[in-house]
Homo-oligomer: A and B are copies of this chain.
Amino acid sequence: MSAPRRGDRDLIKALNRNLVLNIVRRQGPLSRTQIRDLSRLSMGAVSQITAELLDEGWVREVGESEPTGGRRQILLRLRPQAGYAVGVKLMEDRIVCAVTDLEVSEVLYLEQPTLGHSPEVVVSAIVSAVRQAIVDAGISSRQVLGIGVGLAGVVNMQSGVVHYSPFFQWRELPLADLIAAQIKLPVYVDNDVNTLTLTEHLFGAGHDIENFAVITVGRGIGMGMVLHHRLYQGGPGGAGEFGHLTLDVDGPPCDCGKRGCLEALASDPAVIRYIQQRRPDGRALPGTLLDVIAAADGGDALAREALEVSGRYIGLGLSMIVNLLCPTLIVLSGEGVIAGEYRLAPIREALRRHAFNGLLDNVSFIIKPTDDRAWARGAAGLVVAKSFESPLVKAEGDRGGLGAT
């Protein structure tokens, strides 16, 4: 079963505490009066709760506001140093690791190669990197709220089990437990794009947006989504396989075994393949997306065409997200957005052509490049998100599905 149910009063207290904490976190420095208005709690309750939060160090009094004709308001804001998170992103050949504070600002960053793909090797690399990072950051592990791990693949966040990892060829690996067995800290594991999405939800453009999606384009093509203000994970964490939508039934084979997946048609490797297949002669072939962009900048028609084809497919894929989910915001992210307009223009064009009726009017787009540090921060954000998660989400399992219709 789950934690012992201590009654509804405890729940409501925790709920309001969490509410106040999140309001302070999100809306920046606020006076108690403002918190009262935003939370719709009574002044007394706010006073009580903020006193507790101050006492425990979660928030801090920070100066006063401009006078408003009476007693000045004492502003409260989140104390970012109230806790730290360690984020780890697993790449194919290395892991990158960041220590962040509660605002997911980087305190320390390090990289470490992984010499092998077996669970033992990777887990011990993670453990040593985390230990190193905590020491280097000059904090005690008591201050660490937890460890977040992000990797490509299908992951069940609840259980911490990696159902499938394309890089490491893992199946049904209880990664969270393996790490937790060696470090006595809460460990959360999730798909890497989900960690980015959560971080965006907490501190990024996804602020207060009920429904939005994050799309990453790079070596693969991934997706994370927040629906009804909550990260959507689908059945066993299997949602968001955007990169494996079949967009061309007779298309090229994909690593996943199918044909014509978006990822096989439009990822960065697909762009490079596109050029290689059409220029089999001796001319210099691009090895990375940067080469392709350089070629396109130099006027290379084939390079431009390759990026355009890629953009067209991505736009077609995005139109499906718009038609099915109509999110308020789509964040375009990943390493691949550095290709700029070569890819973005056809994306927009395809979206206009394939999105239903006026749906596109309700969707805004943001371009946000992602590098290694951002991935690591995203994984740390997973831990911070857990810390600020509504107690309702945790309680839901205990009752007969509280929020259910």
Task: Give the interface of A toward B (CB within 8 A).
Answer: 5, 8, 12, 15-16, 19, 22-23, 26, 38-41, 154, 163-164, 198, 201-202, 208, 211, 223, 227-232, 234-236, 238-242, 244-246, 249, 256-258, 316, 319-321, 323-328, 353-354, 356-359, 362-363, 385, 388-390, 392-393, 398-405
Contact = CB atoms under 8 A, between A and B. Distances in A.
Given A12-B12, A390-B405, A392-B402, A357 B235 contact: no
A258 B322 CA distance: 15
A385 B359 contact: no
Nearest to A328: B235
Contacts of A398: 40
A399 B19 CA distance: 9
Contacts of A239: 324-326
Contacts of A230: 228, 403-405
A342 to B, nearest CB: 20
Contacts of A358: 163-164
A292 to B, nearest CB: 24
B405 A231 contact: yes
Given A316-B246, A323-B241, A323-B245, A12 B19 contact: no
Listed residue (A356, A362, A393) with the most chain B CB atoms within 10 angstroms of its CB:
A356
Contacts of A202: 405
Contact of A8 (B16, B257, B359): B16
A390 B362 contact: no
Contacts of A164: 357-358
Nearest to A228: B228
A5, A256, A326, A328: residue with the most chain B Cβ atoms closer than 10 Å:
A326
A92 B326 CA distance: 26
B235 A359 contact: yes
A12 B13 CA distance: 11
29 contacts: A8-B12, A19-B399, A19-B400, A39-B400, A40-B398, A208-B401, A211-B235, A227-B227, A228-B230, A228-B232, A229-B403, A235-B359, A235-B363, A238-B326, A238-B356, A241-B323, A242-B323, A244-B357, A245-B323, A246-B353, A249-B354, A258-B353, A258-B354, A258-B356, A320-B324, A321-B324, A324-B324, A324-B325, A388-B405
Contacts of A399: 19, 39-40
Contacts of A392: 392, 402-403
A33 to B, nearest CB: 15
Given A39-B399, A228-B232, A235-B326, 10 more contacts: A38-B400, A164-B358, A229-B405, A238-B359, A239-B324, A239-B326, A245-B320, A245-B323, A246-B320, A258-B356
B241 A359 contact: yes
Given A40-B398, A359-B238, A399-B39, A404 B5 contact: no
A390 B389 CA distance: 20
Contacts of A402: 15, 19, 390, 392
B234 A327 contact: yes
A13 to B, nearest CB: 10
A374 B126 CA distance: 55
B235 A354 contact: no
Nearest to A233: B326
Given A229-B404, A390-B403, A234 B249 contact: no
A357 B231 CA distance: 22
Nearest to A239: B326
A325 B19 contact: no
A19 to B, nearest CB: 6
